[in-house]
Amino acid sequence: MRRVVITGLGMITPVANTAEESWQGFLKGKSGTGPLTQIDSTPFNSKVAAEVKNFDPTKYMSLKEIKKTDIFVQFGVATAKMAMADAKLDISKEDAHRVGIMVGSGIGGLRVIEEQHRQMMEKGPGRISPFLIPMLIVNMAPGAISIALGLKGPSTCVATACATGSNAIGDAFKIIQRNEADVMFAGGTESCITNLGFGGFDAMKALSTHNEDPATASRPFDKTRSGFVMGEGCAILIMEELEHAKKRGARIYAEMAGYGMTSDASHITAPDPSGEGAARCMIIAMKDAKIRPEDIDYINAHGTSTPLNDKVETIAIKKALGESIARKVRISSTKSMTGHQLGAAGAVEGAVCVLAIRDQIVPPTINYKHPDPECDLNYVPNEAQACRVRHTLSNSLGFGGHNACIAFKAYQE
């Protein structure tokens, strides 16, 4: 079986606009949440969001390209260029037909849909932009990245709601293992804090209503949690076949070890209360990685800060690892700092696992002050913990019952 390693990272998060700055912010417990500013919060119950700050697409794209793309695509192009630079990957020296891309989005160009619908209603269909369709479709993120970088290998996308980023990384892993590519750009991107997007989640009563102190509104596993904080951002990993990476002298962060995906077949939005699907997903990922429950040092939890998700994920971890082992494993939710980045979440959290292996430290779950008897594991409360990190899991549980788990391990010859 072809081995797959991680050689580059790019990230845009509500905490910072690069991978390294985001990572250092996570280790310091920096909150990226604040008052909702992109839209008027007056009509909504929730008034907080985890927004990307000061992103400048002109650093990565021409003005002409920017005018033809939605922000989620701009995030994708920028992050892919960061990851490529981090990996020191020169496409002109590669067989471009063996370099592919798997980048997904849970929702896609919702902002441009709203804007163009308003334009049509106010001024008629003759004023619809000819770029509407390519701006809104989810696959335009990998499409624009492949055009910008000249990637001619497998190019596709995933759209599995909150599991998107993890599925994209896992699917790219399998593409390399099957010898269909030597290098894959893999991850997720999202930017849909709009009236319709925010309003939809608000109407479901899925969003946090801790409006009085926005920085603490996302509080996974805490007894007082009331919902998730809507976020945005992007992360992309450069994944390479091991011998290809070694031949070009690439720095190796970690090895991609395993991938699992399952379906709850239970409910359109809520996880299966038994946690069976999520547990089975972790078991499949560990089996694929040829590792045992006792090998797991760290789990980056889906940890959305909703009452049901955090309870069910705790149940699932106990089922997958066994209760005695589960109590020993360090578990944290970086959504406490980034909010829920929807289709980008799994990719950011996968990158966090890679960096935890690199630096032998795990980020905290911040805003954890009130223990919940139904969430009784070690959630790394409020402060990062330096420890041995050899094997990690990252969980993503999406609307529709989509479960994805990706496993990384420290690279060894």
pLDDT tens series, the chain, 413 aa: 899 999 999 999 999 999 999 999 999 999 999 999 999 999 999 999 999 999 999 999 999 999 999 999 999 999 999 999 999 999 999 999 999 999 999 999 999 999 999 999 999 999 999 999 999 999 999 999 999 999 999 999 999 999 999 999 999 999 999 999 999 999 999 999 999 999 999 999 999 999 999 999 999 999 999 999 999 999 999 999 999 999 999 999 999 999 999 999 999 999 999 999 999 999 999 999 999 999 999 999 999 999 999 999 999 999 999 999 999 999 999 999 999 999 999 999 999 999 999 999 999 999 999 999 999 999 999 999 999 999 999 999 999 999 999 999 999 98
> Residue 275 falls within a domain, yes or no?
yes
Say yes or no: 180 and 297 in one domain.
no
Which residue segment(s) compose the domain that 384 sits in? 259-409
Residue in 162, 234, 375, 405 annotated catalytic: 162
Q: How many CB atoms lie within 10 A of CB 243?
A: 12
Say yes or no: 302 and 172 in one domain.
no
> Residue 253 falls within a domain, yes or no?
no
Residue in 210, 244, 302, 402 annotated catalytic: 302
Active site residue 302: yes
Q: Is the dihedral of CA 89, 94, 96, 101 positive or negative?
A: negative
Say yes or no: 280 and 226 in one domain.
no
Question: What's phi and psi for 319, nearest 5 deg?
Answer: -65, -40
> According to the model, what pLDDT value does residue 345 have?
98
Closest CA to 238 of 131, 359, 337, 153: 153
> Residue 107 falls within a domain, yes or no?
yes
> According to the model, what pLDDT value does residue 1 have?
84
Residue in 210, 340, 391, 402 annotated catalytic: 340
Q: What is the pTM of this model?
A: 0.97
Q: What is the CATH number of the domain that holds 41?
A: 3.40.47.10
DSSP string, 117-169: HHHHHHH-GGGS-TTHHHHH-TTHHHHHHHHHHT--S-EE----GGGHHHHHH
3-state SS, residue 11: strand
Say yes or no: 198 and 321 in one domain.
no
> According to the model, what pLDDT value does residue 413 have?
86
